[in-house]
Chains A and B, each alone.
Chain A
Amino acid sequence: MKLCEDCHKTPAAVFLKLAVNNKVTGLHLCQACAAKKGAVYGFESGVFNASDIVGNVSDYFNDFLPRERKTLACAACGLKYSRFKETGRLGCAQCYKSFEPQLAELMARIHGFARHAGRGYAGGGAPEFSRAEASRRGEALNAAIRAAVDKEDFAAAARLRDALRELENRHG
């Protein structure tokens, strides 16, 4: 993990691009140091630079993503990391977990930050699935419960059973 180039103590979370005398330089900083710099340069005074992402996004990904072994893939949807590098599109929400270190680096380059600082989300109410979707999810939960019991992970099995009950109460 890269350390902050200012304090050299905390892991870097922010990639700050600075245009100084027409020369563009970049700095990896921790949140605290970035905030201090921000007070001087100011995001809103426009020192923040996102010019790299203008133009072809997939070229951008190809140029900047670290080389990875071809085998890296998302456990949930099967998307290969190499495929993501070609298309610039992830396959599912789990991809963000599967490729977390690579994405943190990429996010810092695209956004100047690697951590969300906007509104949170508490989660909505349980949506009304169609009968087919509810039964599909029921089957998936049943399979997960069986797998948990096989692994003797009874806490997980209990959680999954609660989820199944909630689904059945709503859609049974």
Chain B
Amino acid sequence: MAELLKSFRPDVTWANAGGAWPDMIFSTRVRFARNLEGFAFANRAAADRLAEIRRLVFAAARESGMFPRGHYLKMEALGPLEKSFLAERHHISPVLASSVLPSGAVISNDEDLSVMINEEDHLRLQCLSAGFAIEDALRSALKLDEVLGGNLRYSFAEQFGFLTACPANAGTGIRISCLAHLPAMARLGRMPAALESLSRLGVIARGIYGEGTYVLGDFYQIANAACLGRSEEAFSRNMDKVIRNLIRQEIGARELLMKGAAKLKTEDAVFRALGVLRHARAVSYNEFMQNMSLARMGAAMGWNMGLDFSTFNQLTLLMQPAHIQAAAGRALTPAGRDAFRADYLRKKLN
């Protein structure tokens, strides 16, 4: 089993329950897209220049003092299991995981700060915070950007701001996203209409791993679509408003599911789901997410699930395929993973 996986701790600070609505908002992320002056964008730069960019970013990150005992990773030196593990932790994107050119990542020891190197842009730096914490995440990401931007030379122009490979990211280069758990709205079939109206607010919703991924366990990444022509603060205020609105809608949906005849049906679904998590002998990740989502909603409704939100959140990370193998300390077949997952849950939940 790769040494790298052992060097990451099993639980992550930003996955602990935090913020104002820990039952609904799992985590908040603020990222900035940046590129270095004097180098072509990553899609058009030669391998030796990409290696030079990575060297410069590693050096700037070391000098910043913001990554003590951090991880400095070269993608081409990692195996598929290690890359999956990092993608499951939201430190690297599926795009970066499949890169064969000189690329990399710097990840802080607490795993709250990270920088992807030579993904679509030379730098994608981000801060992850527990719960609904747009202001905190923005402050930390701006600080990281300021320090790295002082040690490097970013591409910047008055008219278009920070220049990025895709014009959709230029300007502030900011993306603010919250990972929201919205099981009641999903159960009432309200998500399609909600997503439709989000798009009219300049906001996009995606699956749990970001762009082009499926919705799992009723978790949605909600993020700003536009990032030019307004200040970083204006974009975050807009997101704050949108998220608060979603929270109100989810609260309303929960009330409906708790009312009158609906209550027994809801309760039955929630406790059946808990039964699967507690007693099944083989559980796939998909099945885990579906049942966990219902149990998590039960906890939010005040029913005793025997688990707090921090534990739900940590399990959401730990039960992923590469994490299961890291916990087992060896590579497992899909069937082996499902059995290991069921055993783990049984011990944890009974």
Q: What are 29 A-B pairs at a CB distance below 8 A?
A: A77-B40, A88-B167, A89-B120, A89-B165, A90-B41, A90-B167, A92-B39, A92-B44, A93-B155, A96-B170, A97-B157, A103-B160, A103-B167, A106-B167, A107-B171, A111-B168, A111-B229, A112-B202, A116-B159, A116-B161, A116-B229, A117-B228, A117-B231, A118-B228, A119-B231, A120-B156, A121-B149, A124-B154, A127-B153
Contact (Cβ within 8 A) B166 A57: yes
Contact (Cβ within 8 A) A129 B52: yes
**A166 contacts the other chain (CB 8 A):** no
A residues near B161, Cβ cutoff 8 Å: 116, 118
**A46 contacts the other chain (CB 8 A):** yes
Q: Which of A92, A103, A106, A121 contacts B40 (CB 8 A)?
A: A92
Contact (Cβ within 8 A) A124 B40: no
Contact (Cβ within 8 A) B52 A114: no
Q: Which of A19, A115, A125 contacts B159 (CB 8 A)?
A: A115
B residues near A88, Cβ cutoff 8 Å: 166-168
Contact (Cβ within 8 A) B152 A124: yes
State A57–B231 Cα separation when bound (angstroms): 24
Interface residues of B in 134-156 (CB under 8 A from A): 142, 149-156
Q: Which of B43, B228, B241 contacts A116 (CB 8 A)?
A: B228
A residues near B227, Cβ cutoff 8 Å: 111
- A92-B39, A106-B167, A116-B170 are known contacts; what are 11 more A-B pairs with Cβ within 8 Å? A46-B241, A49-B202, A50-B202, A77-B40, A93-B163, A97-B157, A118-B172, A118-B174, A118-B230, A125-B150, A133-B49
Question: Measuring CB to CB, which residues of chain B are less than 8 angstroms from any residue of chain A?
Answer: 35-41, 43-44, 48-49, 52, 55-56, 59-60, 120, 142, 149-163, 165-168, 170-172, 174, 199-204, 225-232, 234, 237-238, 241-242
- From known contacts A77-B40, A123-B153, infer whether A116 and B200 are also in contact, taking CB-CB under 8 Å: no
**A interface majority secondary structure:** loop
Contact (Cβ within 8 A) A89 B231: no
**A44 contacts the other chain (CB 8 A):** yes
Contact with B along A49-92 (1 / 0, CB 8 A): 11101100100000000000000000001010000000111111
Contact (Cβ within 8 A) A96 B160: yes
Contact (Cβ within 8 A) B168 A57: yes
Contact (Cβ within 8 A) A44 B56: no
Contact (Cβ within 8 A) B232 A118: yes
B residues near A54, Cβ cutoff 8 Å: 199, 204, 225
How distant is B199 from chain A, measured CB to nearest CB, in Å? 4
State A166–B242 Cα separation when bound (angstroms): 49
How distant is A153 from chain B, measured CB to nearest CB, in Å? 21
**A25 contacts the other chain (CB 8 A):** no
A residues near B40, Cβ cutoff 8 Å: 77, 91-92
Q: For B55, B172, B203, B230, which residue has the most chain A Cβ atoms within 10 angstroms?
A: B230
State A44–B244 Cα separation when bound (angstroms): 13
State A95–B294 Cα separation when bound (angstroms): 49
- Assign chain A's interface to a size class: 35 or more
B residues near A106, Cβ cutoff 8 Å: 167
Contact (Cβ within 8 A) A132 B229: no
How distant is A4 from chain B, measured CB to nearest CB, in Å? 15
B residues near A117, Cβ cutoff 8 Å: 171, 228-231
Question: Measuring CB to CB, which residues of chain A are less than 8 angstroms from any residue of chain B?
Answer: 14, 19, 43-44, 46, 48-51, 53-54, 57, 77, 79, 87-93, 96-97, 100, 103-104, 106-107, 110-121, 123-130, 132-133, 137
Contact (Cβ within 8 A) B225 A116: no
A residues near B225, Cβ cutoff 8 Å: 50, 53-54
State A54–B60 Cα separation when bound (angstroms): 35
Q: For B44, B229, B238, which residue has the most chain A Cβ atoms within 10 angstroms?
A: B229
B residues near A124, Cβ cutoff 8 Å: 149-154
State A91–B203 Cα separation when bound (angstroms): 27
How distant is B194 from chain A, measured CB to nearest CB, in Å? 13
State A115–B157 Cα separation when bound (angstroms): 10
Q: Which of A48, A91, A126 contacts B44 (CB 8 A)?
A: A91
Contact (Cβ within 8 A) B52 A133: yes
B residues near A51, Cβ cutoff 8 Å: 199-200
Contact (Cβ within 8 A) B200 A46: yes
How distant is A73 from chain B, measured CB to nearest CB, in Å? 12
How distant is B188 from chain A, measured CB to nearest CB, in Å? 22
Contact (Cβ within 8 A) B41 A46: no
Nearest-neighbor residue (CB-CB) of B173 within chain A? A118
State A132–B46 Cα separation when bound (angstroms): 14
Contact (Cβ within 8 A) A44 B237: yes
Nearest-neighbor residue (CB-CB) of B237 within chain A? A44
- From known contacts A91-B41, A132-B48, infer whether A127 and B60 are also in contact, taking CB-CB under 8 Å: yes
How distant is B251 from chain A, measured CB to nearest CB, in Å? 20
Contact (Cβ within 8 A) A110 B167: yes
Nearest-neighbor residue (CB-CB) of A92 within chain B? B40
A residues near B49, Cβ cutoff 8 Å: 133
